[in-house]
Amino acid sequence: MPDYIKGQKYGALKKDCLKRGELFKDPEFPPNNKSLFYSKQDRDIEWKRPKELCKVPKLVVAGVSCDDLNEGELGNTWFVSACSSLAMEPKMWAKVIPNVKEQEWLDDETKYAGIFHFQFWRYGRWLDVVIDDLLPTKNDKLVFCHSQSRNEFWSALLEKAYAKLYGDYESLSAGFTADALVDFTGGVAEKCVVKSMDLDDEKKYYKFFEDLKVAVENKSLVNVYVDCSKGEVGQVANQGLVKGHGYVITDMKNIKLNKGMQAAVGTDYLYLIRLKNPWNTKEWSGPWSDESQEWQALSQKDKTKIGLTFRNEGEFWMAYKDFLDNFTNVDICHFVNTNIFTLKKSWSESLLHGQWLTGARGTNKDRAGGNSKHPTFLWNPQYTFDVTSELDVVMVSLEQDDVVIGRQSGEGHNVIGFHIMKVESNRKYRVHVPGERVAESEYIQSRNVFLKVELPTSRYVIIPSTDKPNIAGKFLLRVYTTASAHAMPLLKEEPKAGLCSKGPAVVTKVVVQKAQGLEEKTGKEGLVAINPYAIVKCEGETVKGMWAKDTPNPDWDFQTIFYRKHPREKPIIVEIWSRNRIKAADFLGLATIPFIGKGTPEVQECKLYGRGKKEAEIKRPGKLFVEITTDDDLTAL
């Protein structure tokens, strides 16, 4: 169930209006200048209901399409571009504009109450926004977003609901398509600036094509545009493209051509992108445009065979290279599938709300340390997550609480980003010493920051932060992995003593680096490959590492941490086992690591022995390399 903005429930309000025989007039977004602008006034605007503008108003006329969208005086092409993407996905459109048939104008005017509602995803939850149907007009024409059909009003009413969400219409005059797409779908926004992606590197060049292709195939909404100043919006740029107007990617092809096609086209492979111009005004006129010589070189049979088709008016193809040379920005809204009962890839989602706090120094209210260049970086909020498969694609999105309404007082977005480090597999307390950095997002002044990275099995810590220290704010962190990531905040600095027990005396970090010359098993056909892994045991806690495949000489870098009450009496035990498909596992040997005391990291070469009293003195093949660090300050590691 969605949350209701201002406590306004559409059903109850409509019922009350019908009972009283009155059209709804929204007290929370009244028809006055405050709902229009925060920095100016326009006394020529009149608020009118659709029935005053045409004889037979409709929410939707002849289906939903991109033709229903014209930006009006606000010049908010970013919003209109997002709406055009939404219009191409009926299921998503129906989520934003629910119960369309029930909301539609009826012939029986006694059942019409002048009230509508829309749903937007904001900051981790769906919000239901109620509006009346009073719209800003001049000379009996809509001032802002409107349809080409004079009696169709879904786009104008949707814009009004979105303006109410942001505080006023003027707040929609500038924004980002990717942010609106997130609001419409609950997806994850990725903003790509082409010139900053180092696509001269051949590997990155082709990887970006494949990433875009996968996004399109997964039904992500991909919007591209030519960036420009506000005064240039709508001007025709290179070979027919319009500056500032969003284009939607509808298909992508990488095709190996047969010899006949290669001769006709002059290349072995085709890397093509199909785009849709929502405004249907101008199309690309360069290579692979509708009437270009490239098309003339292929027969209709060839075009059909390799899937080069047009789906809608206003669609056109262009070569990938031309695409990169002309478009400056690519916004991707990943519509993340979290349904495990699906044939397509599903994701496990973790939603974590947090705050950067600027309270008393050294307390849990002091959580705004700035980026990793600052010595206070580890004061920021920290979150662990696990990668449990051998290698997994991890998507992370950091979104700050939107302060767009604060433009009235000159405020804007903070510069935000996040840092990911590898930590011990059993880490439960906050990190006090920087660990191995595995990824870091860019730091930008944006509502959200996105990063996709491949990570091997381990536990990781994400540290979201503002660019500079001592900046407060709320944020939402979303983590997507294939298997459950068990993501959670790290809140405590260290373990404490219980009511009836003493607390830990020391903290010890154990890094099982590698083993050499482990015992290989013998089968009917000779030596059988082993798949060794380590298990670390300390004072009742057991931590199992990831196995290495087919080797007697594994490199693990398996990290663990223990808070020890009896370090002198109870040594650390490292057992080595081999993963076995037939039975549970084969024991290969163990090492006993006595207490060393406080000191810098020390690598020990350990001999392996058998288990139990009978085999404790029997030496096993191989040796183990373990790095040990111990400190009596529990916050030193």
Q: 148 CB contacts (<8 Å, ≥6 apart)?
A: 67, 68, 70
pLDDT on residue 270: 83
In this structure, the number of other CB atoms found within 10 A of the CB of residue 394 comes to 22
For residues 574 and 628, what is the distance between their CA atoms, to the nearest angstrom? 12
Verify whether residue 218 is a known catalytic residue: no
Provide the 8-state DSSP code for 124: T
Question: 188: part of which helix (H) or strand (E)?
Answer: strand 188-193
CB atoms within 10 A of CB 198: 10
Which residue shows structure tokens 């934003």? Answer: 96
Residue 353 bears catalytic tag: no
Q: Which residue among 146, 245, 334, 419 is the active-site one?
A: 245
- Asked if residue 141 lies in contact with residue 70, where contact means CB atoms within 8 angstroms, the answer is no
Residues 474 and 491: their CA atoms lie apart, in Å, by 16
Active-site residue identified among 117, 146, 223, 277:
277
Q: Which amino acid is at 494?
A: E
Cα separation of 276 and 316, whole Å? Answer: 7
pLDDT at 555: 96
pLDDT tens per residue, range 303-362: 776 677 666 667 889 999 999 999 999 999 987 776 655 546 678 899 999 999 998 888
- Structural domains for the chain: 3-186 (no CATH), 189-334 (3.90.70.10), 348-490 (2.60.120.380), 506-631 (2.60.40.150)
Please identify which residue in the block is written with the tokens 């659709």: 50
What pLDDT does 8 receive? 96
pLDDT value at residue 345: 65
Please give the C-alpha separations between residue 351 and each of 184, 186, 245, 485, in angstroms, as whole numbers.
18, 12, 33, 11
pLDDT less than 50: residues of the chain: 343, 406, 408-410
Return the residue matching tokens 């080069």. 308
Q: What are all long-range contacts of 539-544, with beta carbons under 8 Å and residues at least 24 apart?
A: 539/564, 539/565, 539/566, 539/570, 541/426, 543/425, 543/426
The pLDDT, as a whole number, for residue 209 is 96
Cα separation of the two ends of the chain: 44
pLDDT at residue 301 in the model: 72
Nearest to 194 by CA among 328, 332, 331: 328
Return the bridge partners of 399, or none. 448, 476
